[in-house]
């Protein structure tokens, strides 16, 4: 695509931190300080956790609604867009998004030229079903100066269709803002199942997956941390991070290598080998290209 950089080497940072519930301004200030530090170390794509501006454990819809903001016109969107433009990087960050009377567990994608759009979480976990609407924008892929980006949020990672749809549309990297929580039977001394699932998804689609998790305990709910960046082979190239420490996880990779490496041998290519005579090439999903927000309407263009 015309606006993609021919330079294949890119540096990704996942920012693992502990939001303070309800302290939107404070959380945003802390994320900007971490983004600045990551940029100083050469980051070109920065991924923040799920609901990074508000925290996660809401007690009522009214509380969730009070803390929600419009995208791209809210103060959080403007702050993240400003630092992305000023530092010339991509920010993918979890946000409590309000559109009219609807709330979405979303991630905004901001770049040097402004906010590219949003991804809205498709698969809601637990009490999220009480506060949020299921995502209604499909699995868009965004063209950026540093490659084609898809997005998934937390529980979306348990559905391989999300990664396959992103890869089938040409995504090089899928960014995953997340708030992983302990699930009985999914640790067993071998690390979180979440890490294993995302390693498998990266391998089976030959894509890079960058997961930014939070840490800490919020209103009695502990979180796992252990953010990681997985290469297209399925093996971590950074992390997993610690379970309880704020940190910036970084990796430099060749984004073109995943495209070239999809030819596993003379015969096999994980995307080309799909049996589209048996199942629909896009699993029956409507394909939506990530679009920038309209300057005239302030809403995402169709």
Catalytic residues: 50, 121, 154
What six digits make up the tokens of 252? 């430099």
Rounded (5°) CA angle 34-21-74: 70
Of 188, 130, 154, 166, nearest in space to 50 by CA:
154
The backbone torsions φ and ψ at residue 112, rounded to the nearest 5 degrees and listed phi first, read -60, -25
The answer for residues whose C-beta is within 8 angstroms of residue 287's C-beta and 6 or more apart is: 138, 165, 169
In sequence order, which ranges of 52-144 are alpha helices (DSSP H)? 61-67, 75-87, 128-131
Classify each residue of 20-55 as buried b or exposed e, where b means 16 or more C-beta atoms within 10 Å of its C-beta: ebeebeebbebbbebbeebbeeebbbbbbbbbbbbb
């Amino acid at each position: 695509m015309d606006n993609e950089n021919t330079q294949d080497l890119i540096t990704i940072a996942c920012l693992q931190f502990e939001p303070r519930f309800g302290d939107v301004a404070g959380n945003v200030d802390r994320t900007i300080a971490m983004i600045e530090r990551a940029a100083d170390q050469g980051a070109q794509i920065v991924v923040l956790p799920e609901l990074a501006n508000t925290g996660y454990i809401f007690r009522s819809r009214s509380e969730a609604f009070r803390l929600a903001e419009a995208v791209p016109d809210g103060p959080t969107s403007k702050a993240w867009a400003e630092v992305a433009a000023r530092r010339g990087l991509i920010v993918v960050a979890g946000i409590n998004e309000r559109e009219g009377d609807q709330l979405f567990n979303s991630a905004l994608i901001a770049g040097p030229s402004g906010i590219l759009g949003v991804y809205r979480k498709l698969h809601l976990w637990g009490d999220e079903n009480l506060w949020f609407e299921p995502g209604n924008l499909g699995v868009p892929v965004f063209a950026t100066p540093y490659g084609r980006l898809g997005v998934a949020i937390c529980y979306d990672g348990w559905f391989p269709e999300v990664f396959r749809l992103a890869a089938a549309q040409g995504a090089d990297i899928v960014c995953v803002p997340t708030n992983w929580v302990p699930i009985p039977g999914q640790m067993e001394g071998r690390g979180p199942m979440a890490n294993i699932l995302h390693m498998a998804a990266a391998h089976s689609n030959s894509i890079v997956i960058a997961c930014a998790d939070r840490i800490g305990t919020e209103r009695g709910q502990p979180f796992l941390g252990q953010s990681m960046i997985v290469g297209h082979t399925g093996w971590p190239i950074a992390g997993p991070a610690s379970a309880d420490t704020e940190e910036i996880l970084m990796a430099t990779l060749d984004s073109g290598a995943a495209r070239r490496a999809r030819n596993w041998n003379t015969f096999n290519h994980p995307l080309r080998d799909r049996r589209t005579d048996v199942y629909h090439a896009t699993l029956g999903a409507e394909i939506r290209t990530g679009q920038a927000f309209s300057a005239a309407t302030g809403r995402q263009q169709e």
